[in-house]
Amino acid sequence: MRLQKLGVTHVLNVAEGTSFMHVNTSTEFYAGTGITYHGISANDTEKFNLSAFFEEGADFIDKGLAHNNGKGKVYVHCREGYSRSPTMVVAYLMLRHKMDVRQALRTVRQKREIGPNDGFLRQLCQLNEKLAKEGKLNGE
């Protein structure tokens, strides 16, 4: 499996499901590979509340990166890699690395083109407001 060759130890699928806009993988798909899997059944629509899964996703990414004395590698994906998974990575950077939303978006955009839908961008801005009020962002 190519992911194993790349050293990936954990996979976060932010589009788990069987419909056209989802990716039909599960824990069973990765059985015997040594890869730990976690799925979130998110829809790429403005009304979908992805923020309900921000902590869950950040926790999984944290655990994955800490695996094997900090040598873990986490592959975060959705169907297109353009909206759902980048939103989850941005939320992780905000929650665990104390980046504000602009810095987190800029960090991800330096690596690849992304386009979180407007609803997800609003949710990230709401997270930014919450973290700022709690003093949990760099420079706050």
Instruction: Convert the pLDDT of each residue in 31-60 to its tens digit.
Output: 999 999 999 999 999 999 999 999 999 999
Start-to-end CA distance of the chain, whole Å, equals: 43
| Cα 73 to Cα 63: distance, rounded to the nearest angstrom | 10
Active site residue ranges: 78
Position 3 scores a pLDDT of 95
The two three-digit tokens of residue 1, written as one number: 């499996």
| Cα 73 to Cα 114: distance, rounded to the nearest angstrom | 21
| Cα 110 to Cα 26: distance, rounded to the nearest angstrom | 30
Domains of the chain: 2-133 (3.90.190.10)
User: Nearest CA to 39 among 51, 63, 120, 29?
Assistant: 29
Q: Indicate if the pLDDT at residue 139 is higher than 70.
A: no
Instruction: Convert the pLDDT of each residue in 12-37 to its tens digit.
Output: 999 999 888 899 998 999 999 999 99
